[in-house]
Chain A
Amino acid sequence: MEFLSEYVFSVFFVETLLNGLLYGGVLALLSLGLNLIFGVIDVVWICYAELVMLGMYTIYFMHVFYGLPLIPAALIAVLVVAVLGVVLHKVVINHVLGKAPINQLLATGGVLFFLQSIATLFFGVEFLSLGVSLGSFQLSEDIYMSTSQFVAFLVAAGAVVAMYLFLSRSYMGAAIRAISQDRDIMILMGVDANRLYGITSAIGGGLAGLAACLLSLQFDVHPFVGISFGPIVFMICVMGGLGNMVGGFLAAFVFAELIAIGGYFADLEWGTVLAFCVFVITMFIRPEGLFARKS
C-alpha cells in the first residue's frame, strides 16, 4: 500500500506517463517516413536517421550561420531532405529494387556510413546547438510539459492524419496505395512507377526533414546523432508492422510508455530492457507486427 501511494498514486507517475506520451510523439514522427517508404517501395532506409541528421544540420546552418528566422529555415530543411530522399532513391534504391533484401539493407547501410563520414568531414565532430528553447508549461505544482516535445507530439499526430487523408482521398495517394499493393500489375497498366517512387521518396524525405526541425529544438546535432534514434525507430516500425503507418504510430507510444514506466519503477536502463523484451515477445507472437492487418 505504501508502495502504491509513493509510486503509483503520485504526481511523478502522472509525469512519467506524460513523459512517455511526449517521447512517443518524437518517435512516432520519426517512424512515419520510414514506414511510408517501406510500405510503398518495399525497401528499408536504414540510413533514415542520417537523413534526419542532415536536416538538423540544414536548419542549424540556415538559422545560426545565415541568420534566417526559424520557420523559413525549417521549411528549407524539409525541402532539402525531401530532395535528398529523391536523390537517394535515384542514385541507390533504384538499382537495388527487386534485389535480395540483404542487398538492399547493405546498400542503405552503406549510405548510412557514407553520410556519417561526409558529415564528419564537412561539419566536424563538434556538437552544434540551435540555441533555441521553447521552454515548458506548468500543468501543476510538480508537473511540467516540454513545449518542443508537445509540439512534436502534435505535429506527429497531424502528420499521420494528413498522410491518411492524402493516401485515402487524393488521386496520387490512391496511385501510391495501388502500387504498394501490386507493383507488377500497376506497371502493366501503364503507371509510371519511377515517378510514384520518386514522389514517395520526396514525401518520406520531407517527413524526415520535419522530424529534423523538431529534434533540433531538443537535441544538439553531430554526425552521429542518428545512433540515438535509428535502431529504436526501426524496431518501432517492425513492432507496428513494417509499412503500416498507423501501426508504427501506435507502436511508438507503446514503446515510449514502456521505457518511461520501466525507467520509473526500476533503474533507467530497465525501461529499455522492458521495451526490448516486449518487442521480442511481440515478434514471437505476431511476427507481422502488433498492429498489422490480417491478410
Chain B
Amino acid sequence: MRVSRLLKGLAVSVAALALVTAPASAADKKIKIGVIYDYSGPLAGGGSELQALGAKSMIDYFNEQGGVEGYKIEAIYADAQSKPDVAINEAVRLIEQEKVDMLLGFYSSAQCVPVSAKVDSLKKFMWITTCISPAVLKDRGLKYVFRPQVHGGMFGELSAEFIAANAKSKLGMDAKKVRVAIIHEDGPYGVGVAAGNEAKSKALGMNVVLKEGYAATASDLSALVTKLKRAKPDVILHTGYNPDITLFLRQAKERGLKFKALIGHGAGYGVADQLYDALGKDVDYFFNVDPVSIWLLNPASLKAGLGDVTTMVGNKYMAAKPDTKVKSSHVGMAASNAHVFFSDVLPRAIKKYGGIDAESLRKAALDTDIPEGGTLLGFGVKFPEPGKTAMDGQNLRASPVVMQYVNREVKIAWPKALQTIDPVLPLPSSSPYAK
C-alpha cells in the first residue's frame, strides 16, 4: 500500500515536472540583455534619456513582433547615473548577478572606455549604440565590443572639411586664412572629437588659433569666452554636453563674443528643443555634426520597410514625450543602432552560429555587411577584420552629416548629396553672435 502510494506520488511528480519543463523550454527561449544608459544625473537630460527611449522603443517593437527567431528579448534596464564608476558596477552586476547574455547601450564615452574593457575581459558581448570617442576602441583590440555608431574622429574631421569646402564660396576667404577655435569638454568624448577637429583643420591648412578643454560641470566659462575674444576666431568648433553648452553660449553672448559660424558635435547640440528653450532664436544657424536625424531622411532612399520602422519609432517617441517640438536625433540614433542588432546580427547568430553566446554574437557581428541605405540612419554597417585596423569593432561604413538649425527646424547642410538646405554661412546679422 505504502509502495503503491509512493509510486503514485512519484508518477504525479514526474508528470508535473514534465508539464512544467516541456512548455518552459519554449517559453524560456529568451535573450537577456542588460541595457545601460543614464536615467539620472546631468547626462540624462543631455541626451542619454532620449537614447534610452530609442533603444527601448526598438526592444518593445521586436517583442511585439514575437521576438527574434523565437527568442523573446528580456531587457533589464540599469541607470549609470552619469557616473563611470556606477556604469562599471552596473555592467558587472548585470553580467554576474542578473546573468545577462549581453549588454547594449551606453551614452557617455567616459563610461564606455572602462566598461568596454571590463566587459571584454569577462568575455561578454557589448553592442554600443552611442558613445563615440575613438578611445573606446582604438588600439585596444577588444574582441566582443562592437560599435555601429560613427566615431568621434569622424565628427571632428567632417566639421573641418565642411568649413574648408565652404570657406571660399560662403565666407569669401581662402580656407588657409580661416581662424578656427576648438573648445571641448575634457572627457574622452570631447577630447576625441577635438583631436579630429585639430588634425583635419591643420591638414587642410586652416589656422587653429585656440584649442582648449573644460570640465562639463564647470559653473563658469567666462575665462574661456575672454580667451576666445582674444583669439578672434572665425569659426568655433564646440563639443560639449549640457548644461555647459548653454552656459557657454549665454556667457559668450553677454560678453560680446562674435564669430562667423559655430559647429557643435552631437550630445548637447543634438537636443534642439532644450537649446531653443534655453536660448531662443539665438540658436538659429548653428550647425551640429551628428549621424543624420532619422526623421530627416527620405524613406525612398532607404531599404524597403525601414520608413515604416522610422514612423513606428516616431510614434513611440511622441507617445512617451508628447510635448516634443523638434524630434531629437538621439532617439533615432539608438533606435537605428539597436535595430541593426535585432534585425541583422542576432538572427544570424541564432541561425548560422546556433546561439546567443558571446562567441556566436561576435561571429555574427563580424559577418555584418549592410550596404548604404540599409539602416534607419542611412549608412551601412561593416566591421573590420580583427587586427587589420586600429579600431576593431568600429563600423567602417558609418558617417555623420552636418545639420543646421533654422527657425526651430533641423536641415541637412552637408554633404551636398543629402542637402535639404544651402548652408547659411556666415551667421546672418540677425544673430547676436554675428561677426
Write the residues of chain A forming the contact surface with B, with a CB cutoff of 8 angstroms: 10, 12, 15-16, 19, 22-23, 26, 116-117, 120, 124-129, 131, 133, 135-136, 138, 142, 144, 146-149, 218-220, 222-225, 227-229, 232, 256, 259-260, 263-264, 267-269, 271-272
Contact = CB atoms under 8 A, between A and B. Distances in A.
Given A127-B246, A129-B246, A146-B255, 9 more contacts: A10-B230, A12-B226, A15-B226, A19-B220, A116-B40, A125-B45, A218-B247, A256-B220, A268-B214
B182 to A, nearest CB: 13
B233 to A, nearest CB: 14
A260 B49 contact: no
A252 to B, nearest CB: 12
A202 to B, nearest CB: 26
Interface in B178-220: 186, 212-215, 217-220
Given A129-B278, A259-B223, A135 B254 contact: yes
Given A129-B278, A269-B215, A136 B256 contact: yes
A125 B44 contact: yes
B251 interface: yes
- Which interface residue of B46, B253, B254 has the most chain A CB atoms within 10 A? B254
B428 interface: no
Interface in B38-62: 39-42, 44-46, 49
Contacts of A268: 212-214, 218, 221, 223-224, 227
Nearest to A6: B230
Contacts of A26: 219-220
A10 to B, nearest CB: 7
A268 B247 CA distance: 15
A271 B223 contact: yes
Contacts of B45: 124-127, 222
B230 A12 contact: yes
B280 A131 contact: yes
B400 interface: no
B116 interface: no
B243 interface: yes
Contacts of B224: 263, 268
A219 B229 contact: no
A228 B274 contact: no
A181 B260 CA distance: 60
B202 to A, nearest CB: 19
Contacts of A22: 222
Given A12-B230, A127-B242, A142 B256 contact: yes
B316 interface: no
A12 B219 CA distance: 20
Given A142-B229, A146-B255, A228-B217, A19 B222 contact: yes
Nearest to A120: B40
Contact of B256 (A144, A219, A232): A144
B163 to A, nearest CB: 24
Nearest to A225: B243
B82 interface: yes
A149 B254 CA distance: 10
A131 B217 contact: no
B250 interface: yes
A162 to B, nearest CB: 25
B223 A19 contact: yes
A227 B217 contact: yes
B277 interface: yes
A224 B41 contact: yes
29 contacts: A12-B229, A19-B226, A23-B222, A116-B40, A120-B44, A125-B39, A125-B41, A126-B45, A126-B274, A127-B246, A131-B277, A131-B278, A133-B253, A135-B254, A142-B229, A142-B256, A148-B254, A220-B246, A220-B274, A227-B217, A228-B217, A228-B218, A228-B219, A232-B219, A267-B213, A268-B218, A269-B186, A269-B214, A272-B215
- Which interface residue of B213, B214, B223, B230 has the most chain A CB atoms within 10 A? B223
Contacts of B242: 127, 220
Nearest to A119: B40
A57 B246 CA distance: 17
A196 B222 CA distance: 40
A148 B253 CA distance: 13
A263 B223 contact: yes
- Which interface residue of B220, B222, B250, B251 has the most chain A CB atoms within 10 A? B220
B150 to A, nearest CB: 25
B239 to A, nearest CB: 14
A269 B216 CA distance: 11
A227 B44 CA distance: 14
Contacts of A127: 45-46, 242-243, 246, 274, 278
A31 to B, nearest CB: 13
Contacts of B280: 131
A131 B281 CA distance: 11
A219 B222 CA distance: 13
B243 A144 contact: no
Nearest to B242: A127
A232 B219 CA distance: 10
Interface in B99-120: none
A48 to B, nearest CB: 14
A147 B254 CA distance: 8
Closest 7 CB pairs of A and B: A263-B223, A125-B44, A129-B278, A228-B219, A19-B222, A136-B254, A146-B254
A260 B223 contact: yes
Contact of B227 (A117, A225, A228, A264): A264
A228 B218 CA distance: 6
Nearest to B42: A224
